[in-house]
Amino acid sequence: MPVDLAREIDVFEGQIELKKQGKIEDKLFAETRLRRGAYGQRYDNGQRHDGIAHRSLPFPTPTTKGPETLWDAPGMQRIKIPFGGLNPDQMDVLADVAEEYSDAICHITTRQDVQLHYVHIEDTPDVMRRLASVGITTREACGNSVRNVTACTLAGVCRCEVFDVTPYAKATAYHLLGHPDTQEMGRKFKIAFSGCKTSSCGLTNIHDLGFIARTWQENGVTRRGFEVVVGGGLGAVPYDAKLFDAAVPEEEILPLAQATCRVFARLGEKRNRGRARMKFLIEKLGFDEFRRLVLEERRILPPDRRWTDYLKDIERYHETPTQAPSKLDLANLDPEFEAWRATNVYPQRQSGYVVATVTLPLGDITSWQLRQLANVARRYVGDNVRATVEQNLILRWVSEGDLPALYAELKRLDLALGGAGKIEDVVACPGTDTCKLGIAASRGLAAVLHERLVERQKNGAIEPAVRDLHIKMSGCFNSCGQHHLADIGFYGVSRKVGGATVPHFRVLMGGEWENNGATYGLTIGAVPSKRIPEFIDHVTQRYVAERQSGERFKSYVTRIGKKALKEMVDAFSSVPPYAVDRSLYSDWRDPREFTISDITTGECAGEVVPQIQFDLQAAEQRNFEAQVYLEQGEFQKADEAAYQSMLIAARGLVRTQFWDLPDEPDPIAAEFKTRFYDTGLFQSPDAGQYAGGKFALYLLNRHADKARTFTADKARHLVEEAQLFIEAAYGCQQRMSEERARALASLDLPAATTDATAAAEATA
Amino acid sequence: MDLHKFGIKFFAVDGQRIDILKLIPLYHRWIQHNALQELLIDVADYSHVPAGPGVMLIAHEGNYALDETGHERGVVYYSKRRLSGELPERFARVAQRALTAARLMSADAELDGTLNVPGNRLQFFANDRLLAPNTDAAYAELEPAFKAFLERLYSGAPYRLARETDPRERLSVTVQADTEAPLETLLARLS
Ligand code: SF4
């Protein structure tokens, strides 16, 4: 396991311990765990409506792990899988941790992540360590951070891609992971790569930052680059991404991403979470001004070799198949196999190879299946497995002649379900099953539709035009199920009927999955959850009966118009009185009488915690390590760790004014001296509280001591001094934030504006 | 070995007869009426996953399920948190919980008598590869306590053991006792 990663997890474990001892405040710990992917789950406030009444869940530990989030309440662990890329060893470990810490199910999300549910917070460091041992991190999987970087699942093997975007997606994911420029964002930030403009896999249109591969000629040489789009996003009101630049050369994508993150972090909304995504910032500033600021930021970014280092070998980037290419023997093929092949196999651009999709109902796979699938992958495709945004797994580089044997293996594992990407391959977010914001049971509905449609397909009762439709659903308007992009999409709402609450889904029609998710569906009206299956039957029958030759669903919806669509929806909107039919008053696969009272505050991201608080916490952690060294008699190590702890705290303070401070002792000490010691800012006006400038000198003197000798006494003193220095830094930070609040009150301006202006001035 | 995370599954006979979706309302009722002596949290439906954990009842200390792994249904309980007492005592406690759930399910009108758990076939699994990997050495450490537990459960009746051979799977042992005994009797032996 990389040393840095191991240390980060140790630090997180230390923070868990400190939180248990009540030494970290709730908001800070919540954002800390979110940035490690440890997310809350439904009922984690200890309240649950059991269908009869609200009851408290009397968890034994009184501690909390965030505002109103109980320590013992099981949570969700999100695991980032950049561009969905997995190898068999990683699959083994994912299977093991799901079995031992979760419920033996790995859930694939619509962002190519993996999620485990019902995980106890105290188990998360072990989960993280075991994942880290195979190169997987959970860092910044949630919280106000750059989320998993997604990419076309077919990248590198696609027949229509311009070039393989995989290495670019990978470089971007790791460049921005933990990068200082991404730590102060007011909300999450999503990035996607697409190998072409016309297919759907990349979905760049719904991302904060999207890269679409393209090439052009320059002085007779083919140049690689990307069309860059910004400010897309779903949510309650979806925004289309806007063209930022039609042709950004490949060497410019990392600095451009970094500059965009900086502008978003600096100017994005921090108080009103509902307006904090980048799409709102672009709206507020105006696109041209936003673009100007990003380009200006790009111009002043300190150069970084990592922007281009990875490009040296990029044209040679390739994946290694385990088997030689071969042709499928088309004689005597089993009809069942042929049906599966028709929907789940994609011929790669590399002759003799195909991609096989492993369809996962609702994105779920058991630990046993995943471990077995890892072995199948070892044999047939090696390291070439990916998670898809349609919640499936794909095996790339299958030698075509191996397909019948592969199919037999998948059948043994109950993983040979056909219909990948077809109407029965329903996509759903967690909804009320586990999500704190869920309104209706998206998974319950998805399971019912999936089973019903699979059965119909077996009986040959689904028309080909209908089978090509996509159904996607979300448990609420937040759109994690990407319902806007479906031919028929749903999101959970509720309606009052005669004093009772009835679960409903709002219907959207005519969304476009193709062209990188170019068109969002029209919202029509709401249908009671329990009537959705019959509603789908009706809509699809009408489509088959009324469509013009070759007419696609999106065109059909546009042609018949919203009024006709509304009539269709209205025909299914009635709810019989409770006394006549109670079944509509509960949700799919949940017999409790429906209530929305279990919804609590979401954790899609935590509170906005200024970076300085994390820095000071890190400084404390480092000084704690110094104390351990001291105890072990390792005096030089203790001395150095104590010194580093002061540098970390000083760097945190300086970066509130000067973001580009290099992470090296000399500039940190120099800038700290100029900005905080010489100005008197570090010294408390409250005489004696932090002993004037004395504490600042602990750092400055230690820094100046270039010929230091290391003794037990010196180390012991320095550890003490470092603790005082850190306390003084906390005091300084506290005063600065109070002063800012006072200034804002007198100006009557929102805090974010002033902060942003100050930061902008500091950076410039 | 200080093992806390492990489970015991009592296999059902003709398990495929059960309509697994009926467990959803059944588990919700258990939560409403505090049917089991531990903090019950929620119901997780994985009935759409073939040969998976089926429908689960999530509790604070462990999970209950009519598990379908290996296409063999059975009532399972596995502990997730620290258990008190020595190892044979812990085995007994986990088995009691699984048997209690099996007894309640068998008697529930909702399942209409379709669940039949004779209790003479079980699977034990250590759910902690860091502490108890699937090795001979780890099994040797657990074996005395496990056999003491089986002695108590089956009251000295003979049984056969079969261990899982795949080293990547959990350390697990399937036990087939020669004689059947009512669930109540098994529970009484463990109480
Ligand atoms: S769409 Fe709503 S219910 Fe679904 S996961 Fe997102 S926030 Fe939760």
pLDDT at A11: 93
Q: How far is the alpha carbon of B85 from chain A, nearest alpha carbon, in Å? A: 19
* Ligand 1 pocket member A432 (CB < 6 A): no
Mean pLDDT to the nearest integer, A324-342: 95
pLDDT tens sequence across A606-617: 556 678 888 988
User: How does residue A752 score in pLDDT terms, banded at 50, 70 and 90?
Assistant: very low
Q: Residue B131 domain-assigned?
A: yes
Kindly give, in sequence order, each residue whose CB lies less than 8 Å from that of residue A614, ignoring residues fewer than 6 positions away. A32, A183, A652
Mean pLDDT to the nearest integer, A115-129: 98
Probe ligand 1: pick from A478, A479, A485, A493, max atoms within 8 Å of CB?
A478
Q: Residue B40 domain-assigned?
A: yes
Is pLDDT above 90 for A552? yes
* Spacing of C-alpha A348 from chain mean position: 29
Check: CB of residue A263 under 8 Å from CB of residue A299.
Answer: no
Residue where the block lists tokens 């470092």: A722
CA dist., res. A539 & res. A560, Å (int): 12
pLDDT at A691: 56
Check: CB of residue B63 under 8 Å from CB of residue B82.
Answer: no
Strand A209-218 relative to strand A191-194, pairing: parallel
pLDDT at A116: 98
CA dist., res. A596 & res. A425, Å (int): 28
Which tokens go with A376? 């199948």
Residue where the block lists tokens 């979905």: A203
Q: Residue B46 domain-assigned?
A: yes
Greater model confidence, A366 or A460:
A366
CA dist., res. B52 & res. B46, Å (int): 7
* Ligand 1 pocket member A430 (CB < 6 A): yes
CA dist., res. B127 & res. B170, Å (int): 6
CA dist., res. A32 & res. A614, Å (int): 8
Domains along chain A with CATH numbers: 3-132 (3.30.70), 157-313 (3.30.413.10), 335-412 (3.30.70.3340), 422-596 (3.30.413.10), 610-764 (1.20.120)
Percent of chain A at pLDDT > 90 equals: 77
**Which domain range does residue B44 map to?**
6-190
Q: Residue B15 domain-assigned?
A: yes
pLDDT at A721: 87
Residue A501: phi and psi, rounded to 5, are -105, 135
Is pLDDT above 80 for A758? no
Q: A680-689: which pairs have CB atoms within 8 A and are 24 or more residues apart?
A: A681/A732, A681/A736, A682/A653, A682/A728, A682/A729, A682/A732, A684/A728, A684/A731, A684/A732, A684/A735, A689/A731
Percent of chain A at pLDDT > 70 equals: 95
A523-545: burial string, b at 16+ Cβ within 10 Å, e else: bbbbbbbbbbeebbeebbeebee
* Ligand 1 pocket member A478 (CB < 6 A): yes
Instruction: Kindly list the distances between the CA atom of residue A637 and the CA atoms of A5, A631, A720, in Å, as whole numbers in the listed order.
Output: 20, 11, 15
Q: Residue B1 domain-assigned?
A: no
pLDDT at A313: 86
Of the candidates A457, A348, A460, A368, the one whose C-alpha atom is nearest the C-alpha of residue A415 is A368
Greater model confidence, A727 or B6:
B6
Q: Residue B79 domain-assigned?
A: yes
DSSP A427: E
Check: CB of residue A101 under 8 Å from CB of residue A120.
Answer: yes
In the predicted model, what is the mean pLDDT of chain A? 91
CA dist., res. A157 & res. A161, Å (int): 8
Check: CB of residue A473 under 8 Å from CB of residue A460.
Answer: no
Mutate to test the interface with A, among B41, B55, B67, B123 (most CBs of A within 10 A): B41
User: How does residue A604 score in pLDDT terms, banded at 50, 70 and 90?
Assistant: low
User: How does residue A745 score in pLDDT terms, banded at 50, 70 and 90?
Assistant: low
- Contact across the interface for B42 and A43, Cβ inside 8 Å: yes
User: How does residue A730 score in pLDDT terms, banded at 50, 70 and 90?
Assistant: confident
Ligand 1 centre to CA of A427 (Å) is 13
Residue A233: phi and psi, rounded to 5, are 170, 150
ipTM of predicted assembly, 2 dp: 0.98
In the predicted model, what is the mean pLDDT of chain B? 96
pLDDT at A689: 46
Of the candidates A631, A611, A672, A648, the one whose C-alpha atom is nearest the C-alpha of residue A722 is A648
State how many domains chain B has: 1
Nearest chain B residue to A91 by CA distance is B168
Mutate to test the interface with B, among A43, A107, A118, A434 (most CBs of B within 10 A): A118
Residues of B with CB under 8 A from a CB of A: 5, 21, 24-25, 28, 31-32, 39, 41-53, 56, 58, 60, 63, 69-70, 80-81, 127-130, 168-170
Kindly give, in sequence order, each residue whose CB lies less than 8 Å from that of residue A512, ignoring residues fewer than 6 positions away. A485, A518, A519, A520, A554
Number of A:B CB contacts under 8 A? 92
DSSP A512: B
pLDDT at A685: 66
Ligand 1 centre to CA of A598 (Å) is 14
Residues in chain B: 191
Is pLDDT above 80 for A597? no
Residue A488: phi and psi, rounded to 5, are -125, 115
Nearest chain A residue to B25 by CA distance is A591
CA dist., res. A520 & res. A510, Å (int): 7
Mutate to test the interface with A, among B20, B45, B56, B61 (most CBs of A within 10 A): B45
Nearest chain B residue to A363 by CA distance is B49
Q: Which chain A residues touch B168 with a CB distance below 8 Å?
A: 92, 371
pLDDT tens sequence across A500-540: 889 999 999 999 888 878 788 888 889 999 999 999 999 99
Ligand 1 centre to CA of A712 (Å) is 55
Check: CB of residue A266 under 8 Å from CB of residue A760.
Answer: yes
Among A100, A366, A371, the residue with its CB nearest the CB of B168 is: A371
Mutate to test the interface with B, among A55, A77, A99 (most CBs of B within 10 A): A99
Check: CB of residue A725 under 8 Å from CB of residue A698.
Answer: yes
DSSP A521: P
Report helix, strand or coil for A244: strand
Q: How far is the alpha carbon of A43 from chain B, nearest alpha carbon, in Å? A: 8
DSSP A547: P
Is pLDDT above 50 for A761? no
Residue where the block lists tokens 């190519």: A112
Nearest chain B residue to A47 by CA distance is B41
Check: CB of residue A387 under 8 Å from CB of residue A91.
Answer: no
Report helix, strand or coil for A95: helix
CA dist., res. A721 & res. A723, Å (int): 5
pLDDT at A747: 57
A552 exposure class (CB count in 10 Å sphere: 0-12, 13-18, 19+): middle
Check: CB of residue A450 under 8 Å from CB of residue A616.
Answer: no
Instruction: Kindly list the distances between the CA atom of residue A32 and the CA atoms of A37, A38, A600, A608, A675, in Å, as whole numbers in the listed order.
Output: 9, 9, 20, 11, 28
pLDDT tens sequence across A66-115: 998 999 999 999 999 999 999 999 999 999 999 999 999 999 999 999 99
Among A72, A414, A450, the residue with its CB nearest the CB of B60 is: A72
pLDDT at A89: 98
Kindly give, in sequence order, each residue whose CB lies less than 8 Å from that of residue A72, ignoring residues fewer than 6 positions away. A59, A60, A61, A120, B60
pLDDT at A608: 64
pLDDT at A763: 27
Mean pLDDT to the nearest integer, A466-484: 95
- Contact across the interface for A103 and B45, Cβ inside 8 Å: no
pLDDT at A713: 84
pLDDT at A688: 46
Ligand 1 centre to CA of A719 (Å) is 47
pLDDT at A316: 85
Residue where the block lists tokens 């219909």: A419
pLDDT at A332: 85
Q: How far is the alpha carbon of B181 from chain A, nearest alpha carbon, in Å? A: 30
As beta bridge partners, residue B76 has: B9, B65
pLDDT at A760: 27
Which tokens go with A292? 């100007």
CA dist., res. A70 & res. A46, Å (int): 7
CA dist., res. A262 & res. A655, Å (int): 13
CA dist., res. A368 & res. A407, Å (int): 18
- Contact across the interface for B58 and A74, Cβ inside 8 Å: yes
* Spacing of C-alpha A239 from chain mean position: 18
CA dist., res. A643 & res. A263, Å (int): 33
pLDDT at A621: 82
Among A51, A60, A105, the residue with its CB nearest the CB of B52 is: A105
DSSP A235: S
Q: Which residues of chain B, if any, have pLDDT below 70?
A: none
pLDDT at A580: 93
Check: CB of residue A116 under 8 Å from CB of residue A101.
Answer: yes
Is pLDDT above 90 for A762? no
Of the candidates A126, A375, A113, the one whose C-alpha atom is nearest the C-alpha of residue B169 is A375
pLDDT tens sequence across B116-128: 999 999 999 999 9
A581 exposure class (CB count in 10 Å sphere: 0-12, 13-18, 19+): exposed
